């Protein structure tokens, strides 16, 4: 099946810093989503981005489908950004998640 | 509007007992997914329903696991003869034709 790799696995930032999270996938996909899992376990949609670039406030994402990767940018990080960020790809109905990037933002 | 809901939020059971977990998707969503997340791990795909098509059961870890979706809406995940390794958070998601998945809050299952 398709492989999804996220990097880095862990990231520690000082409040106000910027960061880039990466998601590589091994085959063509129908769609790609980024999620944030908060400390209470709830998965929150960030972006549905099979290709191109989208922005939402301090967050933006870019997917280059032909090169099989996606990037999530977090600018001016806040402590509330802490949690695990997952990338998930969908192919032929089956959804595959990466192992996530655990982000800790320190005040 | 209402999001995806799951019940119960927590379930503690004894090894060998059967459990049923329920998922109520967003109204009108044709696709429904079940995942399992063990402590500190990523999400493991279990099963996928799309409309009236036969479900994709390729992720079910054993024949003790089964799921059904009645009337194209509510879904129930059943685990028979639970084992301690079944302890995890079970997450349900639904989506419309856009394929954007929306997740429920999950059911935390603990098998003693």
Q: Does A63 touch chain B (CB under 8 A)?
A: no
Q: Is the pLDDT of residue A41 over 60?
A: yes
CB pairs under 8 A between A and B: 49
Q: Cβ separation of B99 and A31 shorter than 8 Å?
A: yes
Q: Exposure pattern of A6-22 as b/e (b: 16+ CB <10 Å)?
A: beeeebebeeeeebebe
Average pLDDT taken over every residue of chain B: 92
Residues in contact with A27: Cβ distance below 8 Å, sequence separation at least 6, in sequence order: A2, A68, A91
Contact B91 A96 (CB under 8 A): no
In chain A, what percentage of residues exceed pLDDT 90?
84
User: Which residues pair with residue B92 across a beta bridge?
Assistant: B34
Q: Give the pLDDT of residue B51.
A: 84
Q: Are B91 and B37 in contact (CB under 8 A)?
A: yes
Residue A37's nearest CA partner among A71, A88, A1, A75 is A88
Q: What confidence tens digit (pLDDT) does each residue in B54-97 have?
A: 888 888 999 999 999 988 799 999 999 999 999 999 999 999 87
In this prediction, residue A39 carries a pLDDT of 83
* Nearest CB partner across the interface for B42, out of A30, A31, A86: A86
Report CB contact under 8 Å: A97, B103. no
Between A4-13, A94-103, B45-54, the lowest mean confidence (pLDDT) is in B45-54
Residue contact B42–A90, C-beta within 8 A: no
CB contact under 8 A, B43 and A94: no
How far, in Å, CA of A45 to CA of A37, rounded?
A: 9
Of B45, B50, B106, the CB nearest to A41: B106
Beta strands in A1-98 (DSSP E): 4-7, 10-14, 19-25, 31-37, 43-48, 52-56, 59-64, 69-74, 83-91, 94-97
Output the pLDDT for position B98: 61
B1, pLDDT greater than 80? no
């Amino acid at each position: 099946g398709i492989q999804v790799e996220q990097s880095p696995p862990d990231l520690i930032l000082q409040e106000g810093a910027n960061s880039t999270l990466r998601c590589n996938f091994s085959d063509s996909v129908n769609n790609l989503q980024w999620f944030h899992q908060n400390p209470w376990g709830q998965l929150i949609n960030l972006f549905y981005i099979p290709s191109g670039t989208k922005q939402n406030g301090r967050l933006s994402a870019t997917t280059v489908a032909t090169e099989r990767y996606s990037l999530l940018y977090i600018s001016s990080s806040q402590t509330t950004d802490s949690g695990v960020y997952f990338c998930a790809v969908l192919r032929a109905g089956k959804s595959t998640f990466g192992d996530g990037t655990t982000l800790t933002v320190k005040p | 509007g209402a999001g995806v809901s799951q019940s119960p939020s927590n379930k503690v059971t004894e090894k060998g007992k059967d459990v049923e977990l329920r998922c109520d998707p967003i109204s009108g969503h044709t696709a429904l997914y079940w995942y399992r997340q063990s402590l500190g791990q990523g999400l493991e795909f279990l099963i996928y329903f799309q409309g009236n098509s036969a479900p994709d059961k390729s992720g079910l870890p054993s024949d003790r696991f089964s799921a059904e979706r009645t009337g194209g809406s509510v879904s129930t995940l059943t685990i028979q003869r639970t084992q301690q390794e079944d302890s995890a958070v079970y997450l349900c998601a639904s989506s419309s034709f856009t394929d954007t998945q929306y997740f429920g809050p999950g059911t935390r299952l603990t098998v003693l």
